[in-house]
Structure 1
Amino acid sequence: MKIKKAVIVVLLVFTAFAGFAQGGKKLDKIIKRDYQIIEGTISKMSDKTVEYSLPGETIQISLDVSQIARIEFASGRSQTFDVSQNNTPTASNQSITAVEVKANTIAVLPIPYVNSQNLESSDEMSRLAQNDMYNRLLDKSANIAPLTVQDLRITNSLLSKAGITSQNIDQTPIEDLEKILGVDNIVAAKISFTVSESSTATTYSSGTKTDDKNKKVKTNDVSTTTANSQLYYYYTVYFDMYRNTTKIYSQTRKPFLNLKDSWMDSVTYLLKRSPIYVKK
């Protein structure tokens, strides 16, 4: 009887340990080109697809490799998927509708705005960054003569018709973008950032006072503690400029300040030092 109970106890302990081990199992991480992250267990890979299952499920899900940017395996190994190996529908493998190229015209491409901690992108901030670059070029039109800035609505409309967004624009060759937009100059930028938070606490005490004999006397006043939190943004701005498919300028800059809009300072700095900018 005692032996039977001992066996049961051992089985229960083994079952609990197995369940714990399974629950704490490290998962594979699939990072898609649209910055979505999928955690699961990869069971099979081929040149065209990757098959995986989600935690707690046995159903196998198939994902086209054209949608995958990188896989971080539970073993610690990482595999990056080259853009040239995928079949993502970009201007390079679609039939390109060429627009007549207007000489001395410059277009501002959508600017990816990506949190490098989780690879999440913001379409709203991407549009804001593109508008900011566009307006800076317009404001300095005298400094970039004889170049003319292509209207932003025309740029985005032509890109949209070609199926190009801020999330896949890096996959499209510059020569194709120039044909699609009908320009001979292009500004391409990208903003990557991380965020950290710092908290401080300040305590104000009014529980004592000094009497006529310079002695501290306790009062009924209470102390108050105020907590303040501050977000710090650490940006890296990538700035490229092309003329007739040739890269004529390529710089990377980190803003001096760590404020939410500090990336704008780097854009201004890089633009003023680009080959198209002439001081007046």
Structure 2
Amino acid sequence: MNSKKVITAILLLFVSVLSFAQGGKKLDKIIKRDYQIIECTIAKISDKTVDYSLPGETLQIELDVSQIARIDFASGRSQAFAVTATTPTNNDSAAQAVASAEMKPNTIAVLPIPYINSGTLETSEEMAKFAQNDLYNKLLDKSANLFPLTVQDLRVTNSLLHKAGIDYKNIDETPIEDLQKILGVDNILAAKVSYTITEGSTASTYNSGSAKVSDNNKKVKTSDISTTNSSNLTYYNYMVYFDMYKNGTKIYSQTRKPFLNIKDSWMDSITYLLKRSPIYVKK
């Protein structure tokens, strides 16, 4: 092998190693408020924007922080972004005063729970209502552990939100301070359920047969029958977001993946986070 071929081989090996190292680089993750996840490299964070670049690209993209729920950095650190209310102008038709309900101290309201497929971004109104109702019933069931808090009736909560033009689709766009005025409560529990669905299959093989013994009792002949059964499985990969507010301030914020990947496993995460929240007192 001549020197040129040796140099070429070394260069190719170096490029391969470099490409492998870059491919294995850990990326930052931006979790948007619409539940979209962007894997990227964060370049800069300011009060208003986050600049990032996509894998394999040098072009920097600017994203408004109002669209971001959380950033999980490659280092393992996470940073949450609170929703901030903007100051409306006199010409803004949305600058109407928020209708305030009579304030009921030591009362907690459960907001509608967005339930969204993070892969397709499809939402389900039925599941959003079901999840809200499930969490509401959990609070009622544990009311003795929530004293002195009282849980606002779910019909009252949803009726007041409906009058204000708020539902599970735009609940994240409304500042918590406005929601507390609309609902007349000083405590709010807000949760979200994000999920993806994957398919898998399993195969099981069963053997059966009969043994035949020859006349001299020395040789054994066996006739085996092998049966294989396969089944398709559906896996639900959930992420539950759980936030609690008191007088406009976030006092508890956690995310949790259920231990199991079954259809209703998100309920277990809701119960787990509720029991570890600051409003829950063990009896």
TM-score, normalization: structure 1? Answer: 0.65
Matched, 1:227 2:223: no
Whole-Å separation in 1 of the counterparts to 2:264 and 2:104: 34
User: In 2 relative to 1, CA 130–148 (structure 1 residues): closer, same or farther, beyond 3 Å?
Assistant: same
Q: Distance in 2 between matches of 1:162 and 1:228?
A: 48
Mapped partners of 1:249, 1:99: distance in 2: 25
CA 1:126–1:142 in 2, change beyond 3 Å: closer, same or farther? same
Is the alpha carbon distance of 1:77 and 1:168 closer, same or farther for their aligned partners in structure 2, counting shifts above 3 Å? farther
Corresponding position: 1:150 with 2:155: no
How far residue 193 of structure 1 moved from its aligned partner, in angstroms, is 1.4
CA distance in 1, matches of 2:207, 2:142: 54
Q: Hey, what does 1:268 align to over in structure 2?
A: 271
Identity of aligned residues (%): 64
Query: Secondary structure of 2:213's partner?
Result: coil
1:204: how far off? 3.8
CA distance in 2, matches of 1:115, 1:92: 30
Count of residue correspondences: 204
Offset from partner CA, 1:213-236 (integer Å, 9 cap, x none): 2543669xx754321122222211
> Does 1:277 find its partner at 2:280?
yes
Task: Give structure 2 stretches of 5+ with no counterpart.
Answer: 1-32, 36-53, 68-84
1:191 corresponds in structure 2 to: 193
Per the alignment, do residues 144 and 159 of structure 1 end up closer, same or farther by CA in structure 2, a change over 3 Å counting? same
CA offset digits 1:6-47 (Å, max 9, x no partner): xxxxxxxxxxxxxxxxxxxxxxxxxxx989xxxxxxxxxxxx
Change in CA separation of 1:93 and 1:193 when aligned onto 2, cut-off 3 Å: farther
Cross-structure match for 2:255: 252
Match of 2:142 in 1: 140
SS in 1 for 2:98: coil
Equivalence for 1:166: 168
After superposition, what is the alpha-carbon deviation per residue over 1:47-66, rounded to whole angstroms, capped at 9, x for unaligned?
xxxxxxxxxxxxxxxxxxxx
SS at match of 2:251: strand
Residue deviations 1:105-142 (CA, integer Å, cap 9, x gap): 11000011111111111111111111111001101111
Decide whether the 8 Å contact of 2:258 with 2:266 is kept in 1.
Answer: yes
* Cα 1:279/1:34, change in 2 over 3 Å: closer
Whole-angstrom CA distance in 1 between matches of 2:95 and 2:229:
58
Check the 8 A contact 2:107/2:185 in 1, yes or no: yes
**Closer/same/farther in 2, CA of residues 164 and 94 from structure 1, 3 Å limit:** farther
Structure 1 distance, partners of 2:222, 2:277, is 68
Q: Which runs of 5+ in 1 are unaligned?
A: 1-32, 36-71
Amino acid at match of 1:209: S
Q: 1:135 to 1:275 in 2, by over 3 A?
A: same
The amino acid of 2:99's aligned partner reads T
Q: Secondary structure of 1:274's match? A: coil
Confirm or deny: 8 A CA contact 1:92 1:176 kept in the other structure.
no
* SS in structure 2 at match of 1:241: strand
**Which residue in the other structure is 2:103 paired with?**
101
Q: Which amino acid aligns with 1:114?
A: I
Q: Corresponding residue for 2:212?
A: 211
Q: Aligned with 2:100: secondary structure?
A: coil
Deviation at 1:192, TM superposition (A): 1.1
Whether the 8 Å CA contact 2:240–2:269 is kept in 1: the answer is: yes
Give yes or no for contact 1:34–1:167 (8 Å, CA) kept in 2: no
- Measure the CA separation in 1 of the matches of 2:261 and 2:158: 30
The answer to which of 123-132 and 180-189 deviates more is 123-132
The TM-score, its normalising length taken from structure 2, stands at: 0.64
Structure 1 residues 217 and 147, CA gap change in structure 2 (3 angstroms) = closer
Q: Is the 8 A contact 1:108 1:133 kept in 2?
A: yes
What residue number does 1:110 align with?
112
Instruction: Write the letter of the residue equivalent to 1:226.
Output: N
CA pair 92-235 structure 1, distance change in 2 beyond 3 A: farther
